[in-house]
Amino acid sequence: MPVRTRVTVPLEFPDGYRATAEVVTFTSLSDGKEHLALAFGDVAGAEVPLVRLHSECMTGDVFGSQRCDCGPQLREAVQRIAETGGYLLYLRQEGRGIGLYAKLDAYALQDTGMDTYEANRALGHADDERDYTAAAQMLEALGASTVDLLTNNPDKSRQLRDLGVDVRTVQPTAVHASPANVRYLQAKVAHTQHTIDLASAS
């Protein structure tokens, strides 16, 4: 997939952390969505780029929702990638692929006692509907055939490898637990085997 645009954007996070991203757009991605790659640090000098596949979360990334750990993971990923050189792929797959409104419908069901996966199923969705074909296409366009992957989700490395990306190592993100999201994190460990050490956060 060819690169469409590259543009430099200075970033500042709510805690004051600053980083400069080269934001890359693409043409003809498999799902037709407007995904972004953000390059941080010395990508050319990195032996293997550190890569984070971050699915869009408006509530967490933009508004600081405490019901998930997406915002803190995004902030952590940017700093870690900037230190080593690599890419954050910002993927338009809200709510594990079900969309923003459906995610909020699932939140309403969670308020009745369901966990995040039970709520998805009650709405007729799968546990996780994300597909990383476009992410693999983006990495190919960026020349990143081998990556170190920053994730707690084993499905991301599994899908990338199936799509021909050489995932050299998988590095977990930190545990960003709070009273409002600990049940959500527990469900991710129980249902989809996320590598989250909740004991270390207690």
pLDDT score recorded for residue 194:
58
- The pLDDT-based confidence of 67 (bands split at 50, 70, 90) is confident
The annotation status of 195 as a binding-site residue, yes or no, is no
Give the pLDDT score at 187.
56
Confidence grade of residue 202 (pLDDT, cut at 50, 70, 90): very low
143 pLDDT more than 80: yes
Bridge-partner residues for 147, per DSSP? 167
pTM of the model: 0.88
Instruction: Reply yes or no on whether 197 is catalytic.
Output: no
Q: Read off the pLDDT of residues 4-45 as tens digits, 9 standing for 90 and up.
A: 999 999 999 999 999 999 999 999 999 999 999 999 999 999
Over residues 144-153, the pLDDT tens digits come to 999 999 998 8
Does the annotation list 118 as a binding residue? Answer: no
Tell me the domains of the chain and their CATH numbers: 3-93+130-193 (3.40.50.10990)
34 assigned binding-site residue: no
Q: Is the pLDDT of residue 197 over 60?
A: no
169 is in an annotated binding site: no
Catalytic-role residue among 61, 69, 105, 128: 128
Average pLDDT (68-88) is 94
146 annotated as ligand-binding: no
Q: What is the pLDDT of residues 80-125, one digit of tens each?
A: 999 999 999 999 999 989 999 999 999 999 899 888 888 899 999 9
Q: Active-site residue among 130, 166, 168, 197?
A: 130
Q: Check the annotation: does 57 bind a ligand.
A: yes
Task: Decide if pLDDT at 190 tops 90.
Answer: no
Residues 6+ apart with CB under 8 A from 167: 146, 147, 148, 149, 157, 160, 161
Distance between CA 113 and CA 192 in Å, rounded? 19
Percent of the chain at pLDDT above 90? 72
What residue has token string 């929702």? 65
Give me the sign of the Cα torsion angle 93, 94, 96, 98.
negative
Is 162 assigned a catalytic role?
A: no
Could you give the CA distance from residue 185 to residue 59 in angstroms, rounded to a whole number?
16
Whether the pLDDT of residue 56 is over 90: the answer is yes
DSSP string, 77-109: HHHHHHHH-EEEEEE--HHHHT-HHHHHHHHHH
Residue 188, pLDDT > 60, answer no
What pLDDT, on the 0 to 100 scale, is given for residue 171? 92
103 labelled binding-site residue: no
Any known ligand binding at 36?
no
Tell me what pLDDT residue 54 has.
Answer: 96
